[in-house]
Chains A and B, each alone.
Chain A
Amino acid sequence: MDSSYYVASNSHLNNIAIAATIGKVRNYIPDDIVFSILSKLPIKSLKRFMCVCKSWSLLFEDPHFMTMFRYKFICNHNNESLLLQLRLPYTDDDDLYVNRMYSWDLDFLEFPIPFIPGNKYYTELYSLSRKRFVNKIKLDWPNLLPNQEHIVQFDLHDPFDFKIFGFASVNGILCLVKSNLRSVLLWNPTTKECKVIPPSPIESRHLPLPYQPMPQLDVYGFGYDIVRDDYKVIRHVSFIFDSTQTTYNWEIYSLRNDSWRKLDFDMPTSYRSCQHVHVYVDGVCHWLCDNEEATHTLGEARLVSFDLNNESFVITPIPYIEDDKDYNVWWRNLAELNGSITLITYHEQTTTFHISILGELGVKESWIKLFIVGPLSCVQSPIGMGKKGEIFFIRNDHKLSWFDLNNQTVEEFDGDENWGRDYTYYKESFLPIGGINN
Chain B
Amino acid sequence: MAAEKSSIKIITLIAADGSVFEVEPNIVKEMKTVQSYIDELDQNTVSIPLPNVFGNDLAMIIEYCKKHASEEETKEAKEEFDFEFVKRMKSDDKLRLLQAASYLNMESFLQFMAKAIAAEIENQSVEFVRDYFQIESDFTPEEEAELRKENEWAFK
Contact = CB atoms under 8 A, between A and B. Distances in A.
Q: Is B one of A's binding partners?
A: yes
B153 A37 contact: no
B5 to A, nearest CB: 15
Nearest to A7: B49
A300 B50 CA distance: 59
Contacts, number: 123
Contacts of B137: 52-53
A51 B103 contact: no
A438 interface: no
Given A49-B129, A51-B151, A360-B153, A22 B114 contact: no
Report the interface size class on chain B.
35 or more
Nearest to A16: B103
Given A20-B52, A53-B135, A12 B33 contact: yes
Contact of B126 (A51, A54, A359, A360): A51
A40 B116 CA distance: 10
Nearest to B107: A36
B133 A4 contact: no
Interface in A137-161: none
Interface string A1-41: 10110110010110011101010011111100110111011
A117 to B, nearest CB: 53
Contact of B139 (A33, A49, A51): A51
Contacts of B133: 26, 29, 34, 52
A363 interface: yes
A339 interface: no
Interface residues of A, number: 43
Contacts of B95: 25-26, 29
Contacts of B154: 44-45, 47-48, 359-360, 366
Given A48-B154, A49-B129, A54 B134 contact: no
Nearest to A360: B153
Contact of A27 (B36, B103, B134): B134
A51 B47 contact: no
A6 B99 contact: no
Closest 9 CB pairs of A and B: A47-B154, A40-B118, A48-B154, A363-B153, A37-B114, A36-B114, A47-B151, A20-B52, A26-B134
Contact of A4 (B16, B49, B153): B49
Main secondary structure of the interface of A (DSSP, over half): helix
A38 B46 CA distance: 37
Nearest to A26: B134
A42 interface: yes
Identify which of A7, A17, A38, A360 gathers the most chain B CB atoms within 10 Å of its CB: A7
B72 interface: no
Contacts of B99: 20, 25, 28-29, 33
B49 to A, nearest CB: 6
B13 to A, nearest CB: 11
B33 A40 contact: no
A436 interface: no
B111 A22 contact: no
Interface of A: 1, 3-4, 6-7, 10, 12-13, 16-18, 20, 22, 25-30, 33-34, 36-38, 40-42, 44-45, 47-54, 57, 359-360, 363, 365-366
Given A22-B54, A36-B111, A51 B102 contact: no
B67 interface: no
B6 to A, nearest CB: 19
A1 B47 contact: yes
Given A20-B16, A25-B95, 7 more contacts: A4-B47, A20-B52, A29-B98, A29-B133, A37-B98, A40-B118, A51-B148
A52 B129 contact: yes
A7 B155 contact: no
A3 B118 CA distance: 37
15 contacts: A3-B46, A7-B37, A13-B50, A13-B51, A18-B52, A20-B16, A36-B110, A41-B122, A45-B121, A48-B151, A52-B126, A53-B136, A54-B138, A360-B153, A366-B153
A7 B41 CA distance: 11
Contacts of A49: 121, 126, 129
Nearest to A38: B118
Interface string B97-120: 011001101000011001101100
B123 interface: yes
Nearest to A28: B99
B105 A12 contact: yes
Contact of B122 (A12, A17, A42, A47): A42
Contact of A17 (B48, B51, B115): B51
Contacts of A38: 118
